[in-house]
Structure 1
């Protein structure tokens, strides 16, 4: 094991990106928001908020689920009034999944909960360290290996 930054970051990301870590976080963020909103449907709501209206297949690619799973979970969210299906202006046979006002409100609630959870986790940090971490994490996500560009050697 090495103390090189790339290895340390890769190890930390490995923990953050595990399914169990995501599901635990999603469960905490969605608690009490209604029967349709849970760790399984939260990624759809969050993905639509981030990416905008999408077909089930495109949303699936965005959040790492197959189209059938997205469609099944979208049905639950639509019955709960959190998601709607709009005609696709580019393909009359297709529909786009989109958040309703109620769905946007749920996402705002979960994002607020996440921000509060992060703030609480950083409360013991010196304020300047928290600001630096925030700035550098944003830079890493914007300019780092998540941009879709091929790695440079």
Structure 2
């Protein structure tokens, strides 16, 4: 009969055998997220498709491409930054001819930020850059492993969003979930 596991409060390295994977998972996710969100990584991946934008601009173009025209307040919530930063990023994108302000059809006092035709072309190039990155990272993986990775990450994402929503309104995932639609 196997010995029953008993926690040892004096040994911070003691883990229940079935949960030893948690430290490895957290360490791996931390390394991946750190790499993927590093400004130099993001700009270098985009540059492979000829896109020369700063990380904030890349993020804004990506969000507007996915979600369509949005109010600056929506972008601030999605990008987890302030209105001042959104104003600076949108000014750079507007000056580059990639972004324009349009009237909000639901509120004549408000404006939406929208990608221009050249901005949409940049968004397509960013998608190509991301697809190329994933292809390189998964080179040598068979189809089953690739599909398993996607399936498990989607499952993990769902668990994360559910957990985050239970933490309260100050969490990022909960904020994103609530703002997953156009503001009116």
Give the TM-score range, shorter chain. 0.7 to 0.9
Aligned partner of 2:10 in structure 1 is none
Aligned partner of 1:121 in structure 2 is 137
TM-score, normalization: structure 2?
0.70
Equivalent residue pairs, number: 148
Q: How far did 1:15 drift?
A: 2.6
Q: Distance in 2 between matches of 1:65 and 1:19?
A: 20
Contact 2:45-2:133 at 8 Å conserved across structures: no
TM-score, normalization: structure 1?
0.82
Contact 1:15-1:21 at 8 Å conserved across structures: no
Q: Distance in 2 between matches of 1:120 and 1:18?
A: 18
Deviates more, 1:82-91 or 1:132-141: 132-141
Aligned partner of 2:160 in structure 1 is 145
Structure 1 gaps of 5+ residues are none
Find the partner of 2:113 among 64, 76, 97.
97
Where has structure 1 moved over 6 Å in runs of 4 or more?
none
Q: Distance in 2 between matches of 1:69 and 1:24?
A: 19
Structure 2 gaps of 5+ residues are 1-12, 168-184
Return closer, same or farther for 1:41/1:94 CA change in 2, 3 Å cut-off: same
Aligned partner of 2:42 in structure 1 is 26
Find the partner of 2:27 among 11, 24, 48.
11
Q: How far did 1:82 drift?
A: 1.0
Find the partner of 1:41 among 57, 60, 77.
57
Return closer, same or farther for 1:130/1:72 CA change in 2, 3 Å cut-off: same
Contact 1:60-1:70 at 8 Å conserved across structures: yes
Coordinate RMSD, CA, aligned: 2.3
